[in-house]
């Protein structure tokens, strides 16, 4: 069994100078492809169930899927709740068998975010799991924008909450298609100068690949969340598989081709961040 916590994979990354991919899952096929890619690269992987995924598939089912894959994987696998917004939601994930929860209180006043995150971190640790928090709201393409993470607030948040990982806003944006202008390295340096926990970048698809590689090796960023570019790869592979043969109708036959293509793309993502 290779089911592990977030701390289990991020602490070695912090010490040795690399990052682990937090891969946004939407269903069984992409979960299988992500684990297959991690095994091909012989590197750990974080399977993340975000709000969209949870709206489609019940949390207990997702937990069972991830745990089954982890039980049969040759590399460490983290079962991670992404963007949990309430204590009850995080508690349910822990009760279902997730080994890590990310509580997102980033839109709340600082001390409310600290208090609620600390309570969930305590709950997670009592269950033998990990907790990721967020300080400095990370914006969305064509949606709410972020003013960025204040280093002093990051220092206070990390010290008071006891989180195992800290998601920050340093020019990263959710749901960005294609590489953007890059992250604010000066702000990253200012944050890591006053914190000791592994740092997390959400919206990693919008970060240029060369910068991902450099930041993974040269800063305390130990986790990049990657979703959009893998969903794009899945969608393109699905279109190719369906349109290549108008007579094809068998879902399993189609999905075998999609998974194969997704393993190749995911392997590239994981390899870029790894040691």
Query: Which residues are known to be catalytic?
Result: 82
Structure letter (DSSP) for residue 204: G
Query: 99: which residues sit within 8 A by CB, 6+ positions away?
Result: 3, 4, 5, 6, 78, 79, 80, 128, 129, 130
Give the CB-side neighbour count of residue 217, counting CA atoms within 13 A.
11
Residue 223 near residue 201, CB atoms below 8 Å? yes
Tell me how far apart the 2 most distant CA atoms of the chain are, in Å.
60
Please give the Cα distance from 20 to 132 (Å, whole number): 14
Q: Which secondary-structure segment (H or E) carries 256?
A: helix 251-273
Please give the Cα distance from 226 to 175 (Å, whole number): 10
CB environment 124-163: b (16+ within 10 A), e (fewer): bbebebbbbbbbbbbbeeeeeebebbbbebbbbbbebbeb
Residue 77 near residue 86, CB atoms below 8 Å? no
Alpha-helix residue ranges (DSSP H) falling in 57-106: 59-71, 87-96
């Amino acid at each position: 069994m290779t089911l592990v916590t977030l701390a289990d994979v991020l602490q070695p990354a912090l010490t040795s100078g690399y990052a682990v991919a937090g891969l946004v899952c939407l269903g069984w096929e992409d979960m299988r492809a992500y684990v297959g890619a991690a095994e091909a690269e012989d590197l750990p992987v974080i399977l993340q169930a975000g709000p969209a995924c949870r709206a489609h598939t019940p949390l207990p089912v997702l937990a069972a899927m991830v745990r089954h894959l982890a039980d049969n994987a040759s590399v460490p696998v983290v079962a991670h709740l992404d963007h949990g917004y309430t204590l009850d939601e995080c508690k349910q994930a822990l009760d279902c068998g997730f080994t890590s929860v990310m509580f997102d209180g980033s839109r709340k006043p600082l001390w409310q975010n600290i208090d609620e995150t600390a309570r969930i971190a305590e709950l997670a640790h009592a269950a033998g799991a990990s907790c990721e928090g967020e300080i400095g709201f990370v914006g969305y393409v064509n949606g709410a924008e972020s003013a960025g993470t204040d280093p002093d607030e990051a220092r206070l948040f990390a010290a008071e909450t006891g989180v195992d990982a800290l998601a920050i806003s340093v020019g990263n944006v959710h749901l960005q298609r294609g590489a953007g202008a890059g992250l604010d390295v000066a702000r990253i340096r200012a944050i890591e100068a006053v914190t000791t926990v592994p740092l997390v970048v959400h919206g990693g698809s919008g970060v240029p690949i060369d910068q991902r590689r450099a930041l993974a090796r040269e800063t305390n960023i130990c986790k990049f969340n990657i979703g959009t570019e893998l969903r794009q790869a899945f969608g393109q592979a699905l279109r190719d598989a369906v349109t290549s043969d108008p007579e094809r109708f068998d879902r399993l036959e189609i999905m075998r081709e999609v998974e194969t293509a997704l393993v190749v793309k995911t392997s590239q993502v994981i390899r870029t961040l790894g040691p």
